[in-house]
Structure 1
């Protein structure tokens, strides 16, 4: 049963998905990464992300939503976007 409740992880950090948004990292940490699928195309009957927005966000509750954005970029493909977000998150959490 515990295997079913354990969520997805990437490089030891949790991944949560809601529609076209993917959150990477723990909400208990100082920063998280938000990935938004902007465009996708069908490949063998499955939608594959072709354009993804990446944002490094601060978890500071005292900041407004626009002020929480530390870095942002747009990448081609989900893997590239997640890899960039992972590097940003590691660097932000190391500070």
Structure 2
């Protein structure tokens, strides 16, 4: 279950921030961050549920062009699957430091 710390929603010890249909997972102070974009939703009991999510592992280096920041990309059928792969990718990428 996500918890709040310093005003941020935390998932597995890392910040999870949402801006519209884009979610960022991880800290911008680290070398990598995950960007998740909700591409499609469906209504379930008056609630929008993500049905297609684009997941990208990105460098946080602002000197790179946005196209060059992308390390890995995948499309997942829901937010649960997207968060699952996001946590694995980020953990592995940050271990390599």
TM-score where L is the length of structure 2: 0.91
- Alpha-carbon RMSD across the aligned residues, in angstroms, is 1.3
Distance 1:5 1:25 in 2: 14
Alignment correspondent of 1:56: 57
Residues 4 and 59 of structure 1: CA distance in aligned 2, closer, same or farther (over 3 Å):
closer
The alpha carbon displacement at 1:4 in A equals 8.3
Q: Does 1:28 align with 2:10?
A: no
Distance 2:80 2:41 in 1: 13
TM-score where L is the length of structure 1: 0.93
Report the 3-state secondary structure (helix = DSSP H, G, I; strand = E; otherwise coil) of the residue aligned with 2:67: coil
Structure 2 gaps of 5+ residues are none
Alignment correspondent of 1:46: 47
Deviation sequence 1:5-26 (CA, Å, 0-9, x none): 5211110100000000000000
Alignment correspondent of 2:12: 11
Distance 1:83 1:47 in 2: 20
